[in-house]
Amino acid sequence: MTVNPIQQVAIVGGTHGNEFTGAYLVKKFEQFPNLIKRSSFETLTLLANPKAFALGRRYIDCDLNRCFNKEKLSNPNPTALEENLAQAIEKILRPEGNSNVDFIIDLHSTTANMELTIIPVDKSPFNMRLAAYLCSINPLVHVYSWQQTGQESPFLRSICQLGCTIEVGSIAQGVLNATLFEQTEKLIYTILDYLDAYNQGQTNEISSTLTLYQCVEMIDYPKNQTGELQAMIHPQLQFRDYQPLNHGAPMFLTFDGQTITYSGKATVYPVFINEAAYYEKGIAMCLTEKQLHGLGAA
């Protein structure tokens, strides 16, 4: 591994204003900064979209977590509030003439039952080894990847080369769930301790492989010709994120009571099942392939 010591870590919450877990964790860390202080690096906190958070809405004009691609970050005349915010956040985390944030943790929640999901910035050995370490100490942790290697990312986390999103659920939008709040908090401390140990040349023992859930297909809800929803997630699939879905198993239940089954041949592992914010994106779930990712020697 050729990663230099980590000098600055950013913990970001409220990228989506109705995902309270991250927003209130950031507020807690601002009140009790010692909780996230480690001897070998600085830790910053950021409430990414305060206006959306104040209104309890995901966003004001557009999804902030889709504004971090090169095109939007370099747009000289951004109009949407979130496009402006993305450019401002980039300046905070990658200030000109100053040292950049090395490692990012972006805190999200989902109405899907994804427990503690780690979405690494990319599949670099450093990010993968950290993810494997987190899996090894907590069975609720799963590792998910949206993208194939090399694909451009519009997500806030992509502002750094190291780090991850933490996606916890199921939590309704606009509420706090104390159990998941505490689990997320503990996971953050584990990451900070890991980075601190790394800086001090200590390596944590991990297995040589990581189970990675790689997105292979996004599935929309059944809709009619005018684009209206015609079905719901089937009760037998609801809350079954990361469970195997085999050919012929129920996926949707139409409003008139018909079951629609999974027609694919390969076994897949759906995630983001019935995520509230993805209705408007036309995503009922993301089908993943379960991959064993080799980590190489430490």
How near is the Cβ of 14 to a second copy at its closest, in Å? Answer: 13
Closest-CA residue to 141 (of 162, 176, 168): 168
| Pairing label, strands 250-254, 259-261 | antiparallel
* Residue 260: half-sphere exposure toward Cβ, Cα within 13 Å: 16
**Would you count residue 178 as binding a second copy (CB under 8 A)?**
yes
Q: Is 157 annotated as a binding residue?
A: no
CA of residue 241 relative to chain centroid, distance: 15
175 contributes a contact to a second copy by CB under 8 A: yes
Q: Residue 297, class by beta-carbon neighbours within 10 Å (0-12 exposed, 13-18 middle, 19+ buried)?
A: exposed
Determine, following the binding rule CB under 8 A, whether residue 176 of this chain makes contact with a second copy: yes
247 labelled ligand-binding? no
Residues 83, 115, 167, 275: which is the catalytic one?
Answer: 167
Told to check if 170 binds a second copy by CB under 8 A, we report yes
Please state the closest distance from residue 280 (CB atom) to a second copy, in A: 7
Q: Does 205 bind a second copy (CB under 8 A)?
A: no
- Residues from 41 through 80 that contact a second copy (CB under 8 A): 56-57
State yes or no: is 205 an active-site residue.
no
Q: Segment contacting a second copy (CB under 8 A): 119-127, 129-137, 159-167, 231-239?
A: 231-239
Q: Between residues 129 and 234, which has the closer beta carbon with respect to a second copy?
A: 234
Residue 241, classed as helix, strand or coil, is coil
Out of 279, 281, 282, 298, the residue judged to bind a second copy by CB under 8 A: 279
**Burial zone of 208 (CB within 10 Å; 0-12 exposed, 13-18 middle, 19+ buried):** exposed
List 209's β-bridge partners, or say none: 294
Give the binding range for a second copy (CB under 8 A) out of 130-138, 207-215, 274-282, 285-293. Answer: 274-282
Q: Is 66 known as a binding-site position?
A: yes
Q: Dihedrals φ, ψ of 33, to 5°?
A: -65, -20
DSSP H or E run through 204? none
The region that residue 270 occupies, defined by phi over 0 for left and psi between -120 and 50 for alpha, beta otherwise, is: beta
User: Can residue 184 be called a binding residue for a second copy (CB under 8 A)?
Assistant: no
Closest C-alpha among 144, 136, 113 to residue 190: 136
Q: How far is the CB of 166 from a second copy (least distance, A)?
A: 18
Give, in degrees to the nearest 5, the angle at Cα 196 between 138 and 100: 110
Options 5, 32, 200, 281; binder of a second copy; rule CB under 8 A: 32
Q: How far is the CB of 192 from a second copy (least distance, A)?
A: 18
Residue 285 as a binder of a second copy (CB under 8 A): the answer is no
Least distance to a second copy from the beta carbon of 235, Å?
Answer: 5
CB closer to a second copy, 207 vs 236: 236
108 labelled ligand-binding: yes
Residue placing its CB nearer to a second copy in the complex, 56 or 244: 56
Which helix H or strand E contains 71, and what residues bound it? helix 70-73
Q: Are 138 and 166 in contact (CB under 8 A)?
A: no
Q: Which residues are identified as catalytic?
A: 167
Residues lying near a second copy in the complex (CB under 8 A) are found at 24, 27-28, 31-32, 56-57, 111, 170-179, 181, 228-229, 232-235, 238, 253, 255-256, 274-277, 279-280
